[in-house]
Amino acid sequence: MVEMNIEKWTKENPELEQVLKGEPVFWINGESKTVEEANAISEYSQKDVEDAEARYERFAPFIAQEFEDTRDNNGIIESFITEVPNFKSFLEDEYNTDIEGRVFLKRDDQLPIAGTIKARGAIYEVLHHAEEVAIEAGLLSGYDDDYKKFASDEFKEYFSNKKVVVGTTGNLGISVGVMAAKFGFEAIVHMSSEAKQWKKDYLRSHGVNVVEHKTNFTLAVEQGRQAAEADPDAYFVDDEHSKYLFLGYTAAGMRLKKQLEAEEIKISEENPLFMYLPCGVGGSPGGITFGLKQVFGDNVHCFFAEPTQVASMMVGLMSNEFSEVAVDDFDLDGKTNMDGLAVPRTSQFVAKLMQMYFDGGFTVGEEEANYNLAALDDIEDIAIEPAAVAGIPGIARIFTSEQGKGYIADKGLTDKMGNATHIAWLTGGSMVPYEDHKAFFQQGIDAGYEPKRKSY
């Protein structure tokens, strides 16, 4: 049991006092290093990123064959970027600031197969496991074999005697469950109380065994882990500790570089890139940040976004206790409509690694998130889920907060922000039922947003 030394922690990071009161903050990570310094310490490297991308490519023919929505991209699971000048103007008006540079959204809400950012790391881990099992069983001769074989009855019959298990609030489970079931594994998803009913129904419709727990994310993961450890034929996808989940996300960096180049945007010291990434347990934004830092070096600036009541990564980093503290150790209630971010305790593995790479973070209140969600739906006709909206306020708050303005000045970027590119990562939403989108939109209206175009 860690000794709670709040006085010491708040002295080292004064913003922690606001975090523990549930107030919105913008925080700069004083422990971050240059990419060169961090890479010299990290056990992971660009080679790991390239290995992940190579595995995605090996499986692409199988994925294209089995999932129709990936065929236009030849079996590569990727989303596009959307520039939103009208929404940029809205943010400038709402936050009373000038946003220097261009504003884009990374559309992981439209990712094929699972419709969320989790399709990256979660699907990658299932691919890695299936490949490992097939090679060990002699079903696959090596990496140069025909991966369409994974769709054969022989493979599926062999996999049917093995289980893939995961604990989740929902989106991770969809990606793991759907892909594991497609290979023929018995897929078992342990879901916490925050998980939406439609996610449970969707998984069951794909032949996944859903085990419901009346508890939070951390305990659901632990119960799933224990069930898997007791079964020699089970493989556990561990959202808190898995390096394969993490590595699956890293390939996004190289892919984003190509997308920006297609927009004739070249990131450099004179043309900085600012990323705003929603953060739950930390694997998704952590892996993506690592991949981005390998590609763009110190010219990319990564900020993670969390709900004010569930700032688990921020609490872990500010206290320097990582996963040894949880939001419920304090006066934070852990409740949020941003269910994908409802994680009371951060990943020890990711938080320790990200302390070197993340540039900072910010917290977002419920009304602020709901308001921006409705505005995005109204102005740009982009309907997302609440967790996906968390990164958006960062685009304005880097310019309005004293910490954000100080960061820009300290990095020598004051006269370069006109050339900046800002990207908020939309982590999910396309699979959300109509009635849920309608409810989300109403929550935005209840928060004060007045629609100009859209109605449900």
Instruction: State CA 92 to chain mean position distance.
Output: 26
pLDDT score at 1: 58
Query: Which residues have a Cβ under 8 Å from the Cβ of 382 and sit 6 or more positions away?
Result: 82, 84, 105, 109, 376, 426
Q: CA gyration radius for the chain? A: 21
- Which two three-digit tokens encode residue 449? 């947003």
Check residue 243 and give left, alpha or beta (phi > 0: left; psi -120 to 50: alpha): alpha
Q: How far is CA 86 from CA 67, 89, 392, in A?
A: 34, 5, 14
Q: DSSP 3-state assignment of 188? A: strand
288 close to 391: Cβ distance less than 8 angstroms: no
- β-bridge partners, 425: 106
State the pLDDT at residue 216.
74
Which part of the chain has CATH 3.40.50.1100?
6-114+250-446, 118-245
| Domain at 118-245: CATH code | 3.40.50.1100
pLDDT at 280: 93
Sorted by sequence, the CB contacts under 8 Å of residue 355 that are 6+ apart come out as 29, 31, 32, 317
In degrees, to the nearest 5, what angle opens at C-alpha 451 toward C-alphas 197 and 98? 105
CA–CA dist 339, 18 (Å, integer) = 22
With beta carbons less than 8 A apart as the criterion, state whether 364 and 332 touch.
no
Query: In tens digits, what is the pLDDT along the chain, a chain of 456 residues?
Result: 578 899 999 999 999 999 999 999 999 999 999 999 999 999 999 999 999 999 999 999 999 999 999 999 999 999 999 999 999 999 999 999 999 999 999 999 999 999 999 999 999 999 999 999 999 999 999 999 999 999 999 999 999 999 999 987 678 889 999 999 999 999 999 887 777 888 889 999 999 999 888 877 777 778 888 888 889 999 999 877 899 999 999 999 999 999 999 999 999 999 999 999 999 999 999 999 999 999 999 999 999 999 999 999 999 999 999 999 999 999 899 999 998 898 899 999 999 999 999 999 999 999 999 999 999 999 999 999 999 999 999 999 999 999 999 999 999 999 999 999 999 999 999 999 999 999 999 999 999 999 999 999
pTM over 0.85: yes
Distances in whole angstroms, Cα of residue 323 to Cα of each of 208, 218, 225, 328 = 30, 11, 17, 12
How crowded is the C-beta side of 404, counted as CA atoms within 13 Å? 20
Q: Is CATH 3.40.1390.20 the right assignment for the domain spanning 6-114+250-446?
A: no
Strands 300-307 and 26-28 turn out to be unpaired
Q: Tell me, what's the pLDDT at 171? A: 83
Rounded Cα gap, residues 212 and 101, in angstroms: 45
What pLDDT is attached to residue 196? 81
Residue type at 170 in one-letter notation: G
